[in-house]
């Protein structure tokens, strides 16, 4: 099977099941025009995030890695009345694109964008004594996934769902001798998931318009 076929199948699925959406399309167009890398989740993956957060009746969602806010729009659309997304982005210029994309989607008031290194923003969230999040999407630099997961756990309650993107990276994770810090970060993240008694976790690999990759899903059961 080729990447071209995976992309065709993703297009088929999206045309069948993901309604055309002006705000989402405009978000991608403006992100590309502003020079942001095309590393957002695919439409059917975005809808999966929305569906899972909706099934979970999430009221407080944390996203680590905003980019142009494409996944953020999906997550914000899952929210119950009065719900809120906090999203963390290193780049101030990416965050500005995201803010505009969220405003056009009519979601700006539901989303707080915190600019700067997510490690510092997570420390801030912890010291502010924020109430726990119901749903957490980890999608920033892969090297720091272990730390993001540990912070996510500290910002969780029993029942919180934690999802991490890009946990397969074209299969590179099976290379135990990899010197790529991103790969090592994801491998360390798997180790934390395996050894963490407070979560039930699994991962699934995916193919599609974003190549061969995968999601990890962890449900916090105890604290």
The contact set with ligand DHB (CB under 6 A) reads 39, 65, 139, 165-166
Taking the complex as a whole, how short is the minimal distance between the CB of residue 178 and ligand SAH, in angstroms?
19
- Which of the listed partners (Mg ion, ligand SAH, ligand DHB, none) does 88 bind, with a CB threshold of 5 to 8 Å by partner kind? ligand SAH
- Does 146 sit near ligand SAH (CB under 6 A)? no
What DSSP letter does each residue of the chain carry, written as one string? --HHHHHHHHHHHHHHHS---HHHHHHHHHHHHTT--S-SPPHHHHHHHHHHHHHTT-SEEEEE--TTSHHHHHHHHHPPTT-EEEEEES-HHHHHHHHHHHHHTT-GGGEEEEES-HHHHHHHHHHTTPPPPSEEEE-S-GGGHHHHHHHHHHT--TT-EEEEE-SSGGGGGG-TT---HHHHHHHHHHHHHHH-TTEEEEEEEEEETTEEEEEEEEEE---
The only residue of 70, 133, 189, 215 in contact with ligand SAH, by rule CB under 6 A: 70
Taking the complex as a whole, how short is the minimal distance between the CB of residue 222 and ligand DHB, in angstroms?
29
Q: Which is nearer to ligand DHB, 65 or 69 (CB)?
A: 65
Q: Does residue 32 contact residue 38 with C-beta atoms inside 8 Å? A: yes
Binding positions for ligand SAH, 188-217, rule CB under 6 A: none
Q: Which is nearer to ligand SAH, 89 or 134 (CB)?
A: 89
Q: What is the contact surface with Mg ion in residues (CB under 5 A)?
A: 139, 165-166
Taking the complex as a whole, how short is the minimal distance between the CB of residue 91 and ligand SAH, in angstroms?
5
Taking the complex as a whole, how short is the minimal distance between the CB of residue 37 and ligand SAH, in angstroms?
7
Q: Which is nearer to ligand DHB, 132 or 147 (CB)?
A: 147
- The residues that touch ligand SAH, with contacts defined as CB under 6 A, are 39-41, 65-67, 70-71, 88-91, 94, 117-118, 139-141, 144
């Amino acid at each position: 099977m080729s990447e071209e076929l995976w992309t065709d199948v993703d297009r088929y699925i999206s045309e069948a099941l993901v309604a055309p959406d002006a705000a989402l399309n405009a978000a991608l167009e403006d992100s590309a025009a502003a020079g942001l890398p095309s590393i957002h989740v695919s439409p059917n993956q975005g809808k999966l995030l929305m569906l899972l957060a909706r099934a979970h009746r999430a009221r407080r969602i944390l996203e680590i890695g905003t980019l142009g806010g494409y996944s953020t729009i999906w997550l914000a659309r899952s929210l119950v009345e009065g719900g809120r997304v906090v999203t963390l982005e290193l780049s101030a210029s990416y965050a500005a694109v995201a803010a505009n994309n969220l405003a056009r989607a009519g979601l700006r008031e539901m989303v707080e964008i915190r600019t700067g290194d997510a490690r510092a923003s997570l420390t801030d969230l912890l010291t502010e004594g924020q109430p726990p999040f119901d749903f957490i999407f980890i999608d920033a630099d892969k090297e720091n996934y272990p730390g993001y997961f540990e912070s996510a756990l500290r910002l969780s309650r029993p029942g919180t769902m934690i999802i991490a993107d890009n946990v397969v990276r074209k299969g590179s994770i099976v290379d135990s001798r990899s010197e790529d810090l991103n790969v090592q970060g994801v491998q360390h993240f798997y180790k934390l998931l395996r050894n963490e008694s407070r979560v039930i976790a699994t991962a699934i690999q995916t193919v599609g318009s974003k190549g061969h990759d995968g999601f990890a899903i962890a449900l916090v059961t105890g604290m």
